[in-house]
């Protein structure tokens, strides 16, 4: 059976280190679309952080979808309709925010509208995330967060500070939340049902596709869930060694248009 759905991570996968889509990747995606293959961006970013890429790649036609917040939100890109939305409770916020203070690590929460932090001295990685995903930052006290629809929360700090905090997170938090380290300075907390994998399973069922008709392309630990559920997991050459162990295929690096290579080699041939 030919592959009909290809889920593609952004950072370290779709785009180069200077955040560009190469002409080769652009053309491969257009050629796949022309043959009826659904190309689905699957990212930890919020929706505001992918709109420019959806526009650039012409992925806003009827029946196109996008997976954001590592699977916390799945939307129809042509209408903006929410297909899947997994949110966190105010009690979740309180528990994770208190833990961040206890472990002395910066933290922020993200909704569809923006990035919220209770850190009066806003962390540099919160500013970095704001720039990366094109979202505003709001300073709010914990008491002011009661009515927010939080999709995910993040510990964000220098790698050595973050790693020290990670080692002290109680097991009960791992049991209650889906916790994923997406970069050396980002640790993400999400609803237990939230993952790129669950989002892809939902969309594949919606489209009537079998496992063998699905592919995912990624490079980092937050891509593991989607690579494990598809029939054709592809890991970038620049991907982690642990992730490569579960790959069916290894493609070229993001600097060498690895997404284009994967599409042409294993989807369009």
Structure tokens at 269: 């041939």
Contact call for residues 248 and 235 (beta carbons, < 8 A): no
Active-site residue among 9, 11, 95, 157?
Answer: 9
* pLDDT tens digits along 152-195: 999 999 999 999 999 999 999 999 999 988 889 999 999 999 99
pLDDT of the residue at 46: 87
The pair of structure tokens assigned to 56 is 């650039």
Which letter, b or e, does each residue of 146-161 get, where b requires 16 or more Cβ atoms within 10 Å of its Cβ? eebebbbbbbbbeeeb
Matching CATH number, 5-85+195-266, of 3.30.420.40, 3.40.50.1000, 1.10.10.10, 3.20.20.70: 3.40.50.1000
Q: Are 49 and 114 in contact (CB under 8 A)?
A: no
What residue spans define the domains of the chain? 5-85+195-266, 90-191
pLDDT for the residue numbered 219: 96
Interior/surface letters 199-219, b for 16+ CB within 10 angstroms, e for the rest: bbbbbbeeeebeeebbbbbbb
pLDDT digits (tens, 9 = 90+) for 11-26: 999 999 999 999 999 9
Residue 37 has pLDDT above 90, yes or no: yes
CATH of domain 90-191: 3.30.1240.10
Break the chain down into helix, strand, coil percent, rounded to 5.
Answer: 40, 25, 35
User: pLDDT, tens digit, for every residue of 71-98?
Assistant: 999 999 999 999 999 999 999 999 999 9
Of the given ranges (18-32, 91-105, 117-131), which has the lowest mean pLDDT? 117-131
Q: What global pTM score does this model have?
A: 0.87
| Phi (first) and psi of residue 113, to 5 degrees | -95, -25
Distances from the Cα of 256 to the Cαs of 33, 251, 253, in angstroms? 21, 9, 5
Confidence of residue 199 (pLDDT cuts 50, 70, 90): very high
| Most confidently modeled range among 111-120, 128-137, 230-239 | 230-239
9 is catalytic: yes
């Amino acid at each position: 059976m030919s592959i009909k759905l290809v889920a593609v991570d952004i950072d370290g996968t779709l785009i180069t280190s200077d955040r560009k889509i190469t002409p080769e990747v652009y053309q491969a995606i257009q050629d796949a679309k022309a043959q009826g293959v659904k190309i689905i961006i699957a990212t930890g970013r919020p929706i505001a952080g992918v709109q420019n890429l959806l526009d650039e790649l012409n992925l806003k036609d009827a029946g196109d979808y996008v997976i954001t917040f590592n699977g916390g939100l799945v939307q129809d890109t042509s209408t903006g309709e929410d297909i899947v939305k997994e949110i966190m409770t105010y009690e979740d916020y309180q528990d994770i925010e208190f833990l961040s203070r206890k472990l002395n690590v910066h933290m922020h929460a993200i909704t569809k509208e923006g990035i919220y932090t209770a850190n009066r001295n806003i962390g540099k990685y919160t500013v970095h995330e704001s720039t990366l995903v094109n979202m505003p930052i709001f300073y709010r006290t914990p008491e002011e967060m009661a009515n927010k629809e939080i999709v995910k929360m993040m510990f964000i700090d220098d790698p050595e500070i973050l790693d020290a905090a990670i080692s002290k997170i109680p097991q009960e938090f791992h049991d209650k939340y889906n916790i994923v380290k997406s970069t050396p300075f980002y640790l993400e907390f999400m609803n237990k049902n939230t993952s790129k994998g669950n989002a892809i399973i939902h969309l594949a069922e919606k489209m009537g596709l079998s496992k063998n008709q699905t592919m995912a392309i990624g490079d980092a630990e937050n891509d593991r869930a989607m690579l494990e559920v598809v029939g054709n997991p592809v890991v970038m050459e620049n991907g982690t060694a642990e992730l490569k162990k579960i790959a069916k295929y290894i493609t070229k690096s993001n600097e060498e248009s690895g997404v284009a290579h994967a599409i042409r080699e294993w989807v369009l041939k």
